Amino acid sequence: MRKLTVGLAFGLVAAFGASSSGTVHGGEGGDRIDYHIALNTLFDSGAAAAHACFNMGCGLHPQAGYITGINNKAESWMGGMWMTVDDASCDGGTWGVECSGSGLWMIGYCSEADVPAESMVFSAYTETTIDPKLQYLLFKYDWEHFDNNRDVDISSHIELSAVQALVWAWHSDPNSSSTVFSGIDDPYDDPFEWDGLIPIAPSSGLMPGVGIWTFNNDDIDRGAATQAVYDLAVEAQNKAGDWSFSHSDDGEGIYLLNDNGLPIYGETIVFDDHGAEAVTDSTGYVEWPDGSMYAVTLKPGRAFETPGAPDDDGNSSQNYLVAIGEPISILNNFVATPETTTTVPIPEEATPTTTAPDPDQVVELPSTGGNLSNWPWMPLVAIGCALLIFSRLPHKKSAK
């Protein structure tokens, strides 16, 4: 696997304006980020892929998938296909002859049910748009996931088969003539109705099949594989969409959420050159390690599909879908917003007051007859009255 040696060219350079001192390291999370950066670099210039099959007839298929029966579909290869990837110049070339591969591997999912697959021949990828739920699943259950888990237990085989079932349900049936899910009775034509479903094999056309009813690996429980279809459908519903980081209110950690505000749980976060890794909890939260300066993870990125390499007779063959991740990052630069307190004055209760009268204040009482200040002629009237009375008094005549 090729690794970049100049740092995380996508999220980190965009965030910090320069590359880090080296590739992200410290565990599987860092390796997966490096892997997807290398894929982005390859696909930016054009890529082609070939389904790798190590012998004629693929009887020794490279263990990513198994011959499986689901619903009424005849038994066929089901699960992710090993794809060797190279640049677009390999389109039409044969693996091991014209092209040896880039060293990068991918898990491809069949986008057409019941169409034969052509192996060993490269076919160019074209960017496409798919259901966001599938975009998440193809990104999540990729080569790195399979490669890190295939030797631990068989869960990765179950998961890849469940993803393939959902590709048929949400992509092949709506866009082609396939009827893997659409051909069975309601409600089991909907993967969201498969919770607790007991798989039943079709019986000579008398009884329709439902669920994943066979694996050519006796170690795989059919009920568990059927349940995985429902479980991954719910997981995809919860985690589909665009992802982004945000700081917690106290700045002690970060959240990973999608554009619907739903938590992205169970995703590995890689912290700068300390190499520390943490997995988001049920709320999408992880704490900052001491001294950490930034965090990086992957989100679902672009989806691509091959047109299917033509077979020897020139007939079109199976198309393969893949999705690659996009690195995103966040700086540990949280700054608490100062709390501001606004005091609203409370009006005091009005208290009645009594004002004592001013003893020196002259209060003019209203007149009852007229304005005394308008009577300057009163003395004249008094004098006139006196003269009148005097003139009417009897006077003593003088003696002659």
pLDDT digit string (tens) for the chain, length 400 residues? 333 333 443 344 334 333 333 344 457 899 999 999 999 999 999 999 998 864 334 443 445 567 788 998 877 777 788 899 999 999 999 988 888 888 899 999 999 888 888 888 899 999 999 999 999 999 999 999 988 887 777 778 889 889 999 999 999 999 988 999 999 999 999 999 999 999 998 886 667 889 988 877 777 788 999 999 999 999 999 999 999 999 999 999 999 999 999 999 999 999 986 589 999 999 999 999 999 999 999 999 999 999 888 877 777 788 999 999 999 999 999 988 777 777 777 777 656 565 655 556 555 545 544 454 554 545 555 565 555 555 555 555 444 4
How far does Cα 316 stand from its chain's mean position?
36
Evaluate whether residue 219 is within a structural domain.
yes
- Spatial distance between the Cα atoms of 244 and 272, rounded to a whole number of angstroms: 17
- For residue 28, give the nearest of 60, 50, 59, 1 by alpha carbon: 1
Helix, strand, coil tally for the chain in percent (to 5): 25, 25, 50
Neighbours of 36 (CB within 10 A): 22
Number of helices followed by number of strands (H, E) in the chain: 8, 15
Q: Is residue 192 situated within a structural domain?
A: yes
d(CA 304, CA 369): 112
> Residue 344: its pLDDT value, please?
74
Q: Does some domain include residue 303? A: yes
Domain assignment of residue 126, yes or no: yes
Residue 171 lies in a domain: yes
> Does residue 263 form part of some domain?
yes
Total number of domains constituting the chain:
1
Q: Tell me the C-alpha to C-alpha distance, in Å, between residue 33 and each of 24, 41, 53, 324.
A: 7, 12, 27, 10
Is-cis flag, bond preceding 345, omega within 30? no
Find the domain containing 58 and state its range: 11-331
Answer yes or no: is 346 within a domain: no
Answer whether residue 132 is part of any domain.
Answer: yes
Q: What residue type is assigned to position 288 of the chain? A: W
